[in-house]
Amino acid sequence: MRIIAAIVAAGLLAGAAPSIAQEAAETDVAAFYRLRAEGVAAANAEDLATATARLAEADRRIPNHPGLMLMRARLAAGAGQPAEAMALAQRYADAGLSMNLGGDPALAALEDQPGFEALAARIEANRAPVGADRLTPLFAVGGANLIESVAPDRERRRWLASEVANRTIVAIDEDGGITPFLLAPPETGGVLGMAVDEARGVLWAAIAPVPPASHGIGDASLPGSALVRVGLESGRIEAWFDPPAGREGRSFGDVVLAADGDVYVSDSAAGEVLVVRPDGQAMDVLLPAGALRSPQGMVVTPDGAALIVADYSSGLWRVDRTSGAATRLAAPAKAVLIGVDGLISDGRALYGLQNGTSPQRVLKLTPDAGWTRIEAIEVLAANLPQLDEPTTGLVHEGELVFVSRSQWSDFDGEGAPTTAEPAPALISRLRID
């Protein structure tokens, strides 16, 4: 699920987060947010030298964060360092990102600098459509449902789609006909990530009391985050797994199934990854809070030894399935892997659904042989009307099948509809050969 923490301020001095106390064993993610907050605080105090140093160090901790690149460029422009501001804006452009350069009060002031026209043209080129010949809508789901996840039920020749707003799961037949699937108690929260276990005839689904599921009734009226096991034949919840006690404010999102039957769920609010074992009666923590800020999509590596986890705020991480040790995957110098929500694999490559950047994109990520780093990145789709807050999916018969328009953009942060008659949610397919 997409959980947004505003990092990119429209102006340099807006949106500062409170400072985070530095610990002896501070992680790169924690250091990034501490340094960024200290940099913004210094800028507010007109201590531009300190602000510049703090933000530069934050950039070294988590490279190529889109918001930070722009923040540093604005700061350099305001500090009378136009060449540095141009270099930072060029990094942003070279990463394939777009923005309204002329409409940015700080950066528009650079228009008399050498190379500004070429920079503006480069950013404008990043708005060009990519992949229009690859991407085809498969199903359209009308109404304000907010589709988060899709999973195939091959035995019954249908697809299952989770609905956040309606707190349910529906079945979609091959002709696009939609029927109810989940027979759930009325207090079920929004349904988010899903994974089918065909061998055991069950569907695993994450539920959470998130907006807009809680809109109008309040999250106190819904159960907390949980992982549920649903019979594929019956549509009934067979088992309900609550998270370990001791932490408030959880928000379960994505789910992945390992070949040995382990089921993993990411908690984007607590920063944890949890697991239910095949014969387990309780949920355990694999990756405790601290390493990641907002874990989202996950895949299991081909050798089964680790998970690759997309952290919305810091990129891709490899998490050992035995120890829980987490290591951030290195990537090419110009790569931007911030804002990846859904993460999918066919055993050869990773596919990232990136909705936290401009433009929103579908990325093909080629790992090394050991799945410890990303060797190459290709943009498969971007700047297309069918791409609007893409969330999750899977590889099916050689194509990427995913929620390409989820309707998250049709609800505000409190879960209230912002569009009277939203365009349908779209489940699309994308050629990946």
Same domain, 158 and 119: no
What mean pLDDT, rounded, does the chain reach? Answer: 92
Q: Are residues 239 and 374 in the same domain?
A: yes
In a domain, 277, yes or no: yes
Token couple for 201: 């005839």
Q: Which domain holds residue 114?
A: 28-125
Does some domain include residue 226?
yes
Domain assignment present for residue 390? The answer is yes
Residue 154, classed as helix, strand or coil, is: helix
Residue 9 in any domain: the answer is no
> Mutual orientation of helices 82-94 and 66-78 as an angle, nearest 10°?
160
**Do residue 146 and residue 103 come from a single domain?**
no
Name the β-bridge partners of 252. Answer: 267
**CB atoms inside a 10 Å sphere around CB 332:** 13
Check whether residue 120 and residue 139 sit in a common domain.
no
* Residue 231 shares a structural domain with residue 373: yes
- Say if residue 202 is in the same domain as residue 74: no
Task: Judge if 196 and 305 occupy the same domain.
Answer: yes
22 in a structural domain: no
Cut 0.85: pTM above it: yes
Tokens standing for residue 240: 């309900």
Domain final residue pick, 125, 152, 181: 125
So what's the pLDDT on residue 279?
86
Q: What is the pLDDT along the chain (433 residues), one digit of tens a residue?
A: 432 222 234 333 333 333 333 344 689 999 999 999 999 999 999 999 999 999 999 999 999 999 999 999 999 999 999 999 999 999 999 999 999 998 999 999 999 999 999 999 999 999 999 999 999 999 999 999 999 999 999 999 999 999 999 999 999 999 999 999 999 887 899 999 999 999 999 999 999 999 999 998 888 889 999 999 999 999 999 999 999 987 778 999 999 999 999 999 999 999 999 999 998 889 999 999 989 999 999 999 999 999 999 999 999 999 999 999 999 999 999 999 999 999 999 999 999 999 999 999 999 999 999 999 999 999 999 999 999 999 999 999 999 999 999 999 999 999 999 999 999 999 999 999 8
Q: Which residue, among 373, 390, 375, 396, has the nearest Cα to 301 in the 3D structure?
A: 373
Can you give the pLDDT at residue 218?
A: 83
Residues 184 and 85 in one domain: no
Domain CATH for 284: 2.120.10.30
Q: What is the pLDDT of residue 196?
A: 98
Q: Is there a single domain that holds both residue 307 and residue 423?
A: yes
Domain final residue pick, 86, 107, 125:
125
Beta carbons within 8 Å of 214's beta carbon, 6+ residues apart: 189, 190, 221, 222, 415
The Cβ of residue 26 has, within 10 Å, a number of other Cβ atoms equal to 15
Helix ranges (DSSP H) in 103-158 = 116-125
Provide CB contacts within 8 A for 66, sequence distance 6+.
8, 92, 95, 97, 336, 338, 339, 357, 358
In tens, the pLDDT along 73-84 reads 999 999 999 999
